[in-house]
Amino acid sequence: MEGIDSTDVVTEGNEIKWSTIGKKKIFVAGATGSTGRRIVEQLLAKGFRVKAGVRDLEKAKTSLPHDNPALEIVKADVTEGSVKLADAISDDSEAVICATGCRPGWNLHAPWKVDNLGTINLVEACRKLGVTRFILVSSILVNGAAMGQILNPAYIYLNVFGFALISKLRAEQYVRESGINYTIIRPGGLRDEPPTGNLVMESADTLYQGIISRDQVAEVAVAALIRPEASYKVVEIVSRPDAPKRSCGELFSSIAHR
Ligand SMILES: NC(=O)c1ccc[n+]([C@@H]2O[C@H](COP(=O)([O-])OP(=O)(O)OC[C@H]3O[C@@H](n4cnc5c(N)ncnc54)[C@H](OP(=O)(O)O)[C@@H]3O)[C@@H](O)[C@H]2O)c1
């Protein structure tokens, strides 16, 4: 697997020349989700080929772009095991972006199955195939207990419904110990609206509140793919109107490896 590395990235000043890195195929898990489909759209807009992994092919017909030859849609339920997922991802994918997640609900086993075991299945599928780049959309506060945020209402709410944050933290630990080249992106509260502020990026276990547009999360996930500074990092992101405008490259550079 060739992968995407710094030699693929041509910049003009601080701006990436996306046209130089197009044609790489990226697998997006959870591609019909509110963040997943934005990731798909941004990848296509930047010239990547995309394999959209969805659990519901009918839903994908209405929520993903039609008739784009650069987009392939495949069934990929992350709870169905790494062998099926490896078939779906296939060895022509250069990287996997995981944007799956459970909405809070009464199926209390679902977060563990999807947010923990499902992500582990994706990593194992990558290992089988030799896919070496993995981007995970996680959440701020996953390590809330260690941050002294055990009584933070968001920490309580998200864990009451099946330990969603704890499930994500376990998955993060697996990703980090797997040896794969990872970037873990932990956004604050997600909004469908366009960005109302500039991107703020902090290192792991720093942010315990804040919101961000899903458009910005997608932008960071796509930038992480081609920014060598993003490798082997856990970053937390929110947006703030009073924050200075900085590129994703600058922001990734400002975060230390853990
Ligand atoms: N909501 C927030 O404020 C917030 C804050 C921080 C972090 N996050 C996290 O950020 C990520 C993206 O959030 P979002 O609100 O954009 O998510 P979303 O709209 O709920 O999308 C989640 C996606 O995961 C898919 N999915 C669920 N179970 C699956 C399975 N077994 N196999 C394959 N795919 C499965 C869903 O499929 P369907 O389309 O078929 O339903 C959906 O496409 C999630 O991990 C979420 O937990 C959310």
Ligand 1 center to residue 4 CA distance, Å? 25
Confidence of residue 7 (pLDDT cuts 50, 70, 90): low
Atom of ligand 1 nearest to the CA of 187: 6
pLDDT value of residue 235: 98
User: pLDDT, tens digit, for every residue of 204-215?
Assistant: 999 999 999 999
The binding-site residues of ligand 1, defined as CB within 6 angstroms of any ligand atom, are: 30, 32-36, 55-56, 59, 77-79, 99-101, 103, 114, 118, 137, 139, 187, 189-190, 214
pLDDT value of residue 19: 57
Question: Which residue intervals of 46-142 are DSSP H helices?
Answer: 57-63, 82-89, 110-111, 119-129
Whole-angstrom distance, CA of residue 15 vs CA of residue 180? 27
Q: Whose CA is nearest to atom 43 of ligand 1?
A: 33
Confidence of residue 23 (pLDDT cuts 50, 70, 90): confident
Range 121-139 average pLDDT? 98
Atom of ligand 1 nearest to the CA of 164: 47
Distances 182 to 165, 198, 214, 221, 241 between C-alpha atoms, Å: 19, 24, 20, 11, 29
The residues carrying an active-site annotation are 139
Range 74-78 average pLDDT? 98
Percent of the chain clearing pLDDT 90 (strictly above): 86
pLDDT value of residue 6: 55
Confidence of residue 229 (pLDDT cuts 50, 70, 90): very high
Q: Whose CA is nearest to atom 18 of ligand 1?
A: 33
Question: Which of 139, 185, 217 is the pocket-test mutation for ligand 1 (most atoms within 8 Å of CB)?
Answer: 139
Q: Whose CA is nearest to atom 33 of ligand 1?
A: 77
Positions of E strands within 133-251: 133-137, 181-187, 189-191, 198-203, 211-213, 233-240
147 and 141 Cβ atoms separated by less than 8 Å: yes
Ligand 1 center to residue 13 CA distance, Å? 35
Q: What is the mean pLDDT of the chain?
A: 93
Confidence of residue 12 (pLDDT cuts 50, 70, 90): low
User: pLDDT, tens digit, for every residue of 243-254?
Assistant: 999 999 999 999
pLDDT value of residue 188: 98
Ligand 1 center to residue 77 CA distance, Å? 12
pLDDT value of residue 13: 60
pLDDT value of residue 18: 61
Strand 95-98, strand 181-187: pairing: unpaired
Range 190-202 average pLDDT? 97
Residue 183 pLDDT greater than 70, yes or no: yes
Q: Name the token pair of 190.
A: 């997600």
pLDDT value of residue 106: 87
Ligand 1 center to residue 10 CA distance, Å? 32
Q: Whose CA is nearest to atom 32 of ligand 1?
A: 77
Strand 71-75, strand 49-54: pairing: parallel
Least confident span in 30-34, 65-69, 72-76, 186-190 = 65-69
Q: Whose CA is nearest to atom 48 of ligand 1?
A: 190
Residue 27 pLDDT greater than 60, yes or no: yes
Least confident span in 100-104, 134-138, 169-173, 179-183 = 100-104
Whole-angstrom distance, CA of residue 157 vs CA of residue 29? 25
Ligand 1 center to residue 29 CA distance, Å? 9
Q: Which domains does the chain have, with CATH numbers?
A: 6-253 (3.40.50.720)
